[in-house]
Structure 1
Amino acid sequence: MRLEFDAVLFDLDGTLIDSTAAVRRAWHRWAEEEGVDPARLAGTEGKPAKDIVAALLPPDRHAQGLAHYLHIATHDLDGVVVLPGALDATSAAGPKKAIVTSSTRDVTAARTAAAGLPATDVLVTADDVDHGKPSPVPYLNAAEQLGADPRRCLAVEDTAPGLASGRAAGCTTLGVGTDLDADIVVPDLSHTRFEVDGDRVVLTVED
């Protein structure tokens, strides 16, 4: 399969880097210290921390609760590594790419540094938008910064909220993992190849 796009918009956690264990540890520690039943964390994967905190704590504790989580998340980085194919994919997409993440800018910087993933020129984090995934706003923001029509962009994601966000923005969706509702699904990015051809990014997917 060979497809062409104006730009590629990559999610971060679970797509480019494996931070699953660190994210899980951070949220469970946070829940324990905040007196929240960890079972209430079910279904929050891929959503911005500020939205999760708002759903689990009363309004007068939102600011403190978010700051508490961000402190934990930026300091617990054990096991954060680049996922297969991620370095090749982001490098091969050249300047026609962005990272679109539900993490804050500080957490993103900490995790990408821990994983050894180079920074991108265009980065959209939870700090940059009023409405996070599954809203289309993060992907629309990234496409606008790249000067690209979102309908000619590829959103690369590993969660249902992320894929819903990319789809709502009009992007073609590439799901990384299994059992995902996406236009294309691959186990990881080692099953893809990107290359810049003129003003387009070409995606080739292994059969």
Structure 2
Amino acid sequence: MQPTVPLAPHRPRAATDPTAPAARLTGRAFAAVLFDMDGTLVDSTASVVRCWLRLADEYGVTVEALQAAAGHGRPARDIVADLLPETDHVAGLARITELEVADVEGVVALPGAHDALARTAGRSAIVTSCTGPLALARQRAAGVVVPDVVVTADDVRHGKPHPEPFLTGAARLGVDPSRCLVVEDAPAGLAAARAAGMATLAVTTTHEADELHADLVVPDLSYVTWLDAEDGVVPGVRPSA
């Protein structure tokens, strides 16, 4: 997820009973787990809001227009293209990148993120709509252990909800897409995962459960267990964190 303009802070929302749909995923071994970053592993909402509101102010864009153009999980270049005249696309993208890389105040790891990355080490990737420099800045600020494979907006032509980002992650890990589990917080990312033919696990850190069409929905990653098996990683779910 990134850069989006949710004008409210991240908060864990109660998902529908997290144990009810667990059979769709639990007990199944996945060769790879592909994690979205912002809103899934990292809380960067305050920075996102500050920076996009500042960009809007600098370009004379109303908050209403900003909210209409912003889409959670979409790359910044797509939001800028919808928000600003074509003559300002290059400068606008450079400016929002500059603002966000410089502003990492309050960027922290979300519950369960450190454990999830540790327990899926060697079988995971981060697939984010951030640019490379921004992804690195937020990873460092949050103190997350970064997998060997990271796919950013700089690595793909089409961003989420197009499947290219997740297909690129699977290819770099050398794993068939059908054996991948995607962990996301945003409808655009989940749509990309489904289009890539991958299983989905959603966290309700930025959206209500009924907005997230996934195989399993939990409040955050602290509700998920990860078992290392010979043929992959087996996710499980605990009733409470």
Shorter-chain TM-score: what band? over 0.9
Question: Which residue in the other structure is 2:10 paired with?
Answer: none
Which residue does the alignment assign to 1:199?
231
How far does residue 19 in structure 1 lie from its aligned partner after superposition?
0.6
**1:24 CA displacement:** 1.2
CA contact (8 A) 2:74 2:188 kept: yes
Corresponding residue to 2:62 among 37, 51, 56? 37
CA contact (8 A) 1:23 1:73 kept: yes
Identity in percent? 52
* Residues 1:110 and 2:142 aligned together: no
Going by fraction, where is strand more abundant, 1 or 2? 1
Tell me if structure 2 keeps the 8 A contact 1:5–1:200: yes
2:219 match: 187
Equivalences for residues 89-100 of structure 1 within 5 A: 89-100=116-127
Given candidates 30, 46, 50, the residue that maps to 1:25 is 50
Q: Is the 8 A contact 1:7 1:153 kept in 2?
A: yes
**Which of 163, 177, 183 is the aligned partner of 1:136?**
163
Q: What is the DSSP-based 3-state SS (H/G/I as helix, E as strand, rest coil) of the residue aligned with 1:4?
A: coil
CA distance in 1, matches of 2:124, 2:196: 16
CA distance, structure 1, for counterparts of residue 56 and residue 162 of structure 2: 25
Aligned pairs for 1:7-22 (under 5 A) are 7-22=32-47
- Alpha-carbon offset, residue 39 of structure 1: 1.6
CA distance in 2 between counterparts of 1:173 and 1:118 reads 22
What is the CA distance between 1:40 and its match in structure 2? Answer: 2.1
Query: Contact 1:9/1:155 (CA < 8 Å) preserved in 2?
Result: yes
Normalising by the residue count of structure 2, what TM-score does the alignment of the two structures yield? 0.84
Q: Deviations over 1:126-156 (max 9, x none)?
A: 0000000000000000001111111111010
**2:233 match: secondary structure:** strand
Q: Which amino acid aligns with 1:204?
A: G
**In the alignment, what sits opposite 2:113?**
86
Provide the residue aligned with 1:156 in structure 2.
183
TM-score (norm 1): 0.97
- Matched letter for residue 39 of structure 2: G
Opposite residue 131 of structure 1, the aligned amino acid is: H
Residues 43-102 of structure 1 deviation map (CA, whole Å, 9 limit, x = unaligned): 521100000001111111111000000000001111100000000001100111000000
Aligned residue-pair number? 207
Question: Is 1:124 matched with 2:151?
Answer: yes
Per-residue deviation, 1:195: 2.7
Structure 2 CA distance for aligned equivalents of residues 77 and 39 of structure 1: 25
Question: Do 1:94 and 1:196's aligned partners in 2 also have CA atoms closer than 8 Å?
Answer: no
* AA of the residue aligned to 1:191: Y
With 26-35 and 99-108 compared, the bigger mean Cα shift is at 26-35
